[in-house]
Structure 1
């Protein structure tokens, strides 16, 4: 099956506590609440000082090309509280990097691990990807814990240029191959 057809079939996915779904402009206020607080996104992208900046980011990075990008909606409050997405999806090699963020009010509850396990399962069993990776800033210990809890294995440390400020940073890569994947 074509990966884009498969991704469209799983545009909305339900987990125990969350709904993974396409972003909508209705998420504008929730997205601004996350993106305007520097403490929410220290490793993701620069904070957005205005609603206008936040809306631009929401539309251009999360809504414009929606397949493989999910808003994380908390079932109990119906709030959009984060995102998980395929970055650098290589259709011919069947590989992808996964990126994610979560509103800090929801940190430490296992929510991102739940979402990452769901997307990982779909990546290998429905989208037939062969290899996934997660690249995080070395000091982002929380995202490293999420990767490990979801079954990803440490691959390497490396230096790279931060995509926003172009400064050299230390990064850590975690990976998982389809043939090594074990559903829990």
Structure 2
């Protein structure tokens, strides 16, 4: 179940095109990842430089090359600007599972865009990567992401105490999961 792609897949939804993020998108990536509100629950400090954005884009490329994940840039149809990203990381091929993550420019919050992208990426993972389980690790104060996961059928399994050390502190994370059979029954 290693996440392997011969050509980077493009996903189209009603309003969105999910595509590969390239170095040409660094300015757009910097724009939303420099926002403290967007980064509040990501586990990283807000970005300050175009080099920060380039490093993020290189990370997106490296997880595809290693087969441990894939990250799509979220764009509105008819517009090229990347306004967020969504994808898989920390894949465990022998167990047919992966984690999902997403972030979106604050300018687009509350419009259903994150949910549309999230659902499309989940569907792609189950249909093309033969996943059995998709996990979402969410900080307890991040109510919006909890609602996004629950809206898409994820079940909160429990609290992982002091699970990550990010930005100089230990973070608790809720473990959410969605199983293929649960998604198929939606």
TM-score by length of 1: 0.89
SS, match of residue 171 in structure 2:
strand
Contact 1:162 1:169 in 2 (8 A): yes
CA change 1:126–1:157 in 2 (3 A) is same
Contact 1:86 1:96 in 2 (8 A): yes
Instruction: Name segments (4+ residues, structure 1) moved above 6 Å.
Output: none
CA change 1:123–1:57 in 2 (3 A) is closer
For residue 164 of structure 1, report the CA deviation from its aligned partner: 2.6
Contact 1:154 1:174 in 2 (8 A): yes
* 2:172 corresponds to 1:170: yes
For residue 38 of structure 1, report the CA deviation from its aligned partner: 1.2
Residue aligning to 2:19: 21
Residue aligning to 1:99: 101
Contact 1:131 1:175 in 2 (8 A): yes
Matches of 2:110 and 2:170, distance apart in 1: 29
Matches of 1:143 and 1:99, distance apart in 2: 9
Q: Deviations for 1:66-85, whole angstroms, at most 9, x for unmatched residues?
A: 36211111214321011112
RMSD (CA atoms):
1.9
For residue 183 of structure 1, report the CA deviation from its aligned partner: 5.8
Gaps of 5+ in 1: none
CA change 1:114–1:180 in 2 (3 A) is same
Gaps of 5+ in 2: none
Contact 2:153 2:182 in 1 (8 A): no
SS, match of residue 57 in structure 2:
helix
**Aligned pairs, how many?**
181
* 2:117 corresponds to 1:118: no
Q: Deviations for 1:147-176, whole angstroms, at most 9, x for unmatched residues?
A: 011111111122124343252222112111
